[in-house]
Chains A and B, each alone.
Chain A
C-alpha cells in the first residue's frame, strides 16, 4: 500500500455513461406509452435500477473503489427490501373489514 494514487477514470467513460443514462431515460418514457398493466411498474423499476447502478458504479466510482463502500450501499438496500417486503406482506394478507383503513 505504498502508492495511494486515486483511480482516474478516462473522460470518455463519463460521457458514455451519461449517454447510456439519456438513452435509458428515453426508454423509460417510451415504455410508459404502452399499457402492459402491472408489468409497467416492474419495467419502470427495472430500467431505473439499471440507471441507478450506472450512477453508483461509475459516477460514484464504486466499481474501482474500496469494496466496503459498495457493501454499505447494498446493506442500505437490503434493509429497505426487508422493510418493503414485510410491510407489503402484512398489508396484502390482511382481511379487510367493510370500512377502509
Chain B
C-alpha cells in the first residue's frame, strides 16, 4: 500500500479511476471468497445429510450428547456479534469513529465468549471419550455413533477455526479504527471483515439445528 494515497480524503490507488471503483473491486473479491467458503462448508453439509440419511439412529443418539442450551446460547452470541459488526460499519459510514470502535470491541468479546462456550462443550465431549476414530471410547447404542462425532468435530472445528481467524481480523480493524485509519469515505477493510463475519454467523445458523436439535 502506498503511503501517498490519501484514502481518508477520497483518493484511490492509481490504477482505479476513483475511490468507489476501488471499494467495489475489493468487495467483489471478498464476495468471490465467500462463495468458495460456501462451497467448502457445503461439502461438509452434504456429508452431514448423506450420513444422516444412512445412519439416522446415530444422529438421534449423537444429538443427545450435545447440550442445546449451550448451542442456543452460542447462537444468540453470534447473532448479536453479527449485529454489532454491522453497526460498526454503520457508525463508520456516519463518521462516528468511537461508536464504531466500541462495536468492534463488543464483536470481539462475543467471538471470545463463543469460543469459551465451545471450549466447555469440547472438553466435556473429549472427557467422555466422544472423539471419533480410534479415540472413541464411549459406550454406544448406535453402531455408527462415532460417525456423528466425526461430523460434529469436523464441522464445528472448521467453523471454530473461522471464528479464531475472525477474532484476529477484528483486532486488526479495531486497531486501525482507533488509530484513525477509517472514516465514512474509506472503511473497505472493516466492510470486508464484517462480510466474512456474517458468513461465519450464517454457517452457524445451519449448524445449530442440524447438530443440536434435529
B35 and A76 form a contact (CB under 8 A) = yes
A79 and B45 form a contact (CB under 8 A) = no
A48 and B49 form a contact (CB under 8 A) = no
The minimal Cβ–Cβ distance linking B78 to chain A, given in whole angstroms, is 10
Specify the main secondary structure of chain B where it touches its partner: helix
A32 and B83 form a contact (CB under 8 A) = no
Interface residue stretch chosen among B26-34, B151-159, B163-171: B26-34
Instruction: List, in ascending order, chain B residues with CB within 8 A of A101's CB.
Output: 54
Instruction: List, in ascending order, chain A residues with CB within 8 A of B213's CB.
Output: 28-29, 32, 40, 44
The minimal Cβ–Cβ distance linking B92 to chain A, given in whole angstroms, is 10
Q: Mark A3-47, 1 if CB is under 8 A from B, else 0.
A: 010101101001101100110010011001000000011001101
* CB contact between A87 and one of B28, B35, B46 (< 8 Å): that residue: B46
B19 and A48 form a contact (CB under 8 A) = no
The minimal Cβ–Cβ distance linking B158 to chain A, given in whole angstroms, is 16
B79 and A22 form a contact (CB under 8 A) = yes
- Say whether B53 faces chain A, with CB atoms less than 8 Å apart: yes
Interface residues in A, total, Cβ within 8 A? 46
Q: Mark A44-81, 1 if CB is under 8 A from B, else 0.
A: 11011001100110111000001011001101110110
Interface residue stretch chosen among B110-118, B124-132, B172-180, B197-205: B197-205
Instruction: List, in ascending order, chain B residues with CB within 8 A of A75's CB.
Output: 35
- Say whether A95 faces chain B, with CB atoms less than 8 Å apart: no
The minimal Cβ–Cβ distance linking A22 to chain B, given in whole angstroms, is 7
A55-B202, A69-B31, A91-B53 are known contacts. Are A80 and B83 too (CB-CB below 8 A)?
no
Instruction: List, in ascending order, chain A residues with CB within 8 A of B35's CB.
Output: 72-73, 75-76
Q: Which residues of A contact B (CB under 8 A)?
A: 1, 4, 6, 8-9, 11, 14-15, 17-18, 21-22, 25, 28-29, 32, 40-41, 44-45, 47-48, 51-52, 55-56, 58-60, 66, 68-69, 72-73, 75-77, 79-80, 83-84, 87-88, 91-92, 101
Nearest 7 CB-CB pairs, A to B? A4-B20, A32-B213, A76-B38, A80-B42, A44-B209, A76-B35, A18-B83
